[in-house]
Amino acid sequence: MDEAAWITRYIAPLVTSAGADGLRDDVALLTAIGPTIATMDTLVEGVHFLSSDPVATVGQKLIRVNVSDIHAKGAEPLEALLSIAWPHDRSEHDFAALMSGIERDLQGFTVSLIGGDLVRHDGPLTLTLTLTGRCIGKRPVRRSGGGAGDALFLDGEIGWGGAGLSAAQSGNNPQLAARYQVPQISDRASAQIVAEQASASMDVSDGLLLDVSRLAEASGCGAQLDLERVPLAVETAEIAQILDQCTAGDDYRILLSAPSGLKIPGFTEIGKLTESPGLQLRFRAQPVNTPSTLGFEH
């Protein structure tokens, strides 16, 4: 079957918004209600997911990594454009499975698919999503709005992405592997908190230490992180195991700064922004050496 037939059979049924014109055109009309943001993330086989990952989970991950960016800016996801470079040697059955994963999460996060592109090639499966979002407040919450003295808050737990990747590679624990394949991202309620309370915000995708450094740097500050306060997938008092989890990445939880003294339901205070630049790590008030690798960029 050719690309046009695949689009008709598997992709067009997912399209409901009027602006998409049933994918019968080359462009989609964007919905414009208030300030609108856009993000674009690409997943490549062998880089962002394993060839052995169930392909439906790859579709879910594609939606989630993009929704995570939108939520972290204090916005709700709106409309998506999807590009798929599909390897010739993967089956139509696999394609149907990919689209079922995408459909599941489009519905779960209330995203409208409005357009995109499909090409078959002889390379790794490569997926790109452009996702728009409607700001809950008047503008997106940037990485750069924090100030020295602001507290750092984290939504959820860190380390599931790394633990899940190890499980997926070993094949021994499918339930744990699912935490890597289908990340549990921060939800719409957390996006509302970002919009209402955060001075700066981002999602933790490349490792907590790296992303704390980035938020601090973008805000013209340094940061102090109290490692014993970070909620971890695997609870431990071993510094090496804590640092492993805080540098592994693929967690897609929201990190925000807000005035100190606040209590934010569902979030944990893990440190603060500082006047002096750089990242200072502490464990039970004792200084800890900062590892040379703070995370993974991909």
> How large is the greatest C-alpha to C-alpha distance in the chain, in angstroms?
63
In order of 87, 93, 189, 214, 296, the CA distances from 45 in angstroms are: 10, 18, 31, 27, 16
- Which positions from 37 to 56 touch a second copy by CB under 8 A, shown as an x/- string? xxxxxx-x-xxx--------
**Which contiguous run of DSSP H or E holds residue 64?**
helix 55-72
| Stretch 206-235 residues interacting with a second copy (CB under 8 A) | 218
Q: What is the dihedral of CA 117, 140, 251, 267, to 10 degrees?
A: -150
Contact by Cβ (8 Å): 167, 250: no
Shortest spacing between CB 194 and a second copy, in angstroms: 12
Residue 194 amino acid letter: V
Q: Is 275 in the site for a second copy (CB under 8 A)?
A: no
Convert residues 70-89 into a mask of x (bound to a second copy by CB under 8 A) and - (unbound).
x-xx-x-----xxx-x----
Nearest residue (CB) to a second copy, 104 versus 134: 134
Q: Nearest 5°: CA angle at 87, between 3 and 11?
A: 35
> Which one of the spans 52-60, 68-76, 101-109, 164-172 is the region binding a second copy (CB under 8 A)?
68-76
Is residue 25 near a second copy by the rule CB under 8 A?
yes
18 near a second copy, rule: CB under 8 A: no
Among residues 9, 35, 280, 282, the one that binds a second copy under rule CB under 8 A = 35
CA quadruple 21, 27, 33, 37: dihedral sign: positive
Q: Do 265 and 210 meet the contact criterion of CB atoms below 8 Å apart?
A: no
Sign of CA dihedral 16, 21, 24, 26: negative
Q: How far apart are CA 217 and CA 260, in angstroms?
A: 19
* Pick from 204, 190, 197, 193: nearest CA to 151: 197
Q: Segment 155-184, which members bind a second copy (CB under 8 A)?
A: none
Q: Can you tell me which of 1, 16, 27, 189 binds a second copy, judged by CB under 8 A? A: 27
State how far the Cα of 87 lies from the Cα of 282, in Å rounded to an integer. 47
Q: Does the protein bind a second copy through residue 69 (CB under 8 A)?
A: yes
Task: State the number of binding residues for a second copy (CB under 8 A).
Answer: 58
- Per CB under 8 A, contacts with a second copy among 234-253 are none
Amino acid residing at 241: Q
Span near a second copy by CB under 8 A; candidates 112-120, 157-165, 233-241, 246-254: 112-120
Of 17, 36, 166, 274, the residue at the interface with a second copy (CB under 8 A) is 36
Positions that interact with a second copy (CB under 8 A) = 2-4, 21, 24-30, 32, 35-42, 44, 46-48, 69-70, 72-73, 75, 81-83, 85, 114-117, 119-124, 126, 128, 130, 132-133, 139-140, 142-144, 202-203, 218, 297-298
